[in-house]
Structure 1
Amino acid sequence: MSPEQRRAAVYLRISQDRENTRLGVDRHREDAEALIAARRWTPVGVYEDNDISGKGHKKRPAFERLLKDIEAGHIDVVVAQEWPRLERNRADGVRIIEAAQRHHVLLTFAKGSDIDCTTAAGRLSADMFSAIARNEIEVKAERQSRAQRQRAQQGRPPKGVRPLGYATNGDVIKHEAEAVKKIYGAFSSGSSLRAIAAALSGSEGKDLPALPTLPRHNRTLMIERNARRSEEGLEPRPVPNDDPWVPSTVMGILRNPRYAGYSTYTPKEVLANGDRRRSWRAQILRDDHGEPILGQWDSIVDLAMWEAVQDRLDDPARITNRVGTDRKHLGSGLYRCGVCDKPVKAHGQRYRCAGHVVRSREQIDDFVVEVVRRRLALPDLHDLLPSADEPRLQEIKEEINEHRARIHRAQRDYDDELIEGFDLKRIRDRENAAIDTLEVERLRLSLGSSHTSVLGQRDPAAAFEAGDLGVRRSTIGALCTVRLYPHPRGMKSFNPDSVSIMWR
């Protein structure tokens, strides 16, 4: 086949082009077109996957079309800037090599040589290119990870997308920070993630009027980026719709250690662990003594508030509840059956424990709310509340720090080649098991002594009446255990003796 008869396709890919400047793909296109002209090939099309990283499993639409056109016999040559632009990952590399081999397609690169996949030598060259490219990527990733860890050890704000409440340099954005504080306050008072999301969205009839209405954070970020693009004379990019907030976004805010002032770094083993609840605390960078490293920025919530929120999010009762904390009725899952002591469920207008208790929901709720309100109005309320086991909580914190320090020292010994990998794993597994045991004890003590923000108000009774469903449930759960017994037969009026309220 003469050079003029060879049909050449151009494949372009840039891993990251958030601002859509297209500078990279335009440069690569110019290089590819110059090569095609020099070889006197016939250009038959450009296949472009701009702003698609080599990480993850995101599909490359243009790459898939390129493979289909190769299989259809429309292409004799594929031109790319270099092998990593074309391969991205080993699976895609195998696919393009096999397709090129079946249809006698030449792979060539503006920064490199030709690969004739119809020969054993050509396939060996492709494998070598792939191995070298992966090595370069891994070395670059290690260098970047080391720089990120060093930055975190210095307490400097991490690079990347700014969280709600902070500028990219770590400065506090006042109105957003106030919203973050109110999000933490609402959740610690017992409000659900869904109720908080609805309040931030400005939903009609929202239960949390104290929370401000805010646009989704990704919308705010894109508006800010477009303002910078406008200053640089660039075209704006599409702005996401102002959709309602979702509970998972609220969860991300509540889990973020940066709001408590902690410097964070996420090791690979944390991401591979799969335990998201552990990984949030594991992101907190610690010194040789196991103490958290604080960032060079102002915290938005205090440490005690952040830890209390983590305890509530980690509560096994909440995790095993399929609908989270978003209950629709005051006593559902909170009140207990007086016969079998299992939590009752809401069933229509009643609370029900199959075979034991069926009670009017409205009557029971009115009675419990009134009794709790009276309790909250007592002048000696705080003398009646259970006290936290503060000394033991502090001991647990110190013990956890000791175990984390041992993990840190083992990691350092491994880096210095003083111990083997299996020694590091053995130490890490042993210390993490001890940490998990202590965390369970700390969680039990923290939840057992949780008084919610209602009980800390100047007028707890008024705060209880003004609170949303989540706040009232949390307050009742902290103060007492409510048990429902069958209503006496033949009695038409409500019998208070059929409801037991045991104060903690």
Structure 2
Amino acid sequence: MKTEQKRVGIWIRVSTDYQVKDESPEHHEQRARYYVKSKDWHVAEVYRLDAISGKTVMEHPETLRMLKDIRRGHISGLVFSKLARLARNTKELLEFAEIFRLEGADLISLAEQIDTSTPAGRLFFTIISAMAQWEREEISSRVAASVPIRAEMGKPLGGQASFGYKWDNKQLIVDDKEAPIRKLMYEIFIECQRKKTTAEKLNSLGYRTRNGAYFSDTTVDRLLRDTTAKGVRLANYTKSTGDGKQWKVKPEDEWIQVPCPAIINQQLWQECNAILDEQRQKRTKIGRTSEYLLAGIVKCHCGKPMYIFSTAKKFTCKVCKNSIDEAVMNEIYQHHLKQYLGGITPQLFLEEIEAEISKQEDLLSSAVKKRAQLRKKMDDLVNLRLNEDLNKDHFANLYKPYEIQVTQLDESIPVLEAEIDFRRIQLKSSDFVLNEAKSLYTEWTDMAFSQKRAIAETVTEHITIGEDSINIALAYLPGSAQTSQRNFRGSYWPPA
């Protein structure tokens, strides 16, 4: 069964008119295309930002088009020559990485050998997330330090006053008209324990929100959860999404707590919020945590995933009724790791990749040098022609062969670069998978289940249970060494 090709975009950005000419966007596009071809992907879009500064690109029409394509699933990856070509602004680079991570899309930087579709490349998202977290903590620290100073100076901390409060002379104080309604809301809710009933009761008593609207269960929920009523105002906990209309909550470690006058006591606030939390938990379906090492990895030969549905602890296909004992599958998997790691094939494979890279790099170096030599000869011929030391026909006869050879080199150089890019990323990923597999096998008994599970997900491409065989494939290892098939007899597949 043929799998659908991965659809990716190619990102081409240069900073000035000079760079458009000097760096040759066409060259970078060809290099990216050859890399995409080597991965058996499909180029769905090309995004060109010619002569655009790298200081900020987020609002550029091509950027917005690319992000729209990512979010609607038109492409699931973006290939570019280097990170500096994507965005020179660190903040925007972090934003790009976060968007791609959340959308499940891949970033492929050829110069830095980053391909997040590979196990090794996915570490990039981990590193970027750590950087983003550090930046948030730095901002939070600065904001937290400024809040007390602004308060001492008598400056408002910003934001609309919560229902029941108002700003007076840059100070947040209790609003005598709204505060009794806010307090009554908590008292009604603690009795009926229903947000909608609380809203209906307030409305029937003739109370309205600040802008004259009816209270709704959403408004009641928001006000009941607002900590201001118990004497703790939250600052720096929301930010605009950019259109000025929508807001989203920031990470909790960025929030700033500022003391303010209380309308109700802490006990009443906590009791109401405990009820809200319990109600939310009952409504939320909690996903099951995987209890089995290879759950979600084991598949039937028909293509359907196999899961454990009963206390019998067998991976079973709902369609084919094909099954295998979970403990036996773990034993086979461990035995496969031992067989694989015990051989010399993986190390030979890595050495073969390194040798191939070295060979391609020699060819590339030779091609670049040859091209430079030919260009110099062509320039010399042009100077001779300008000085009338060569007639037109003689010049053409000498110049044309050089021109043809340079054109051929211009076509072959991106191919060599793409081959090197592919091999370097393959080497990095294979080495990463090999080391993870070694850790999993050697520390199998002592390793925590969560860590063991994470490594198994990383290093295992697939495990397919056939009618008379098991196929285990490790990610990014050679075809000859990455799969193993084992015959079975009876109901189980015990290792030989």
- What TM-score do you get using the length of structure 1 for normalisation? 0.29
TM-score, normalization by structure 2: 0.30
Select the structure of larger CA radius of gyration.
2
Q: Which has the higher strand share?
A: 2
Q: Identify which of structures 1 and 2 has the higher relative contact order when contacts are C-alpha pairs closer than 8 Å and 6+ apart.
A: 2
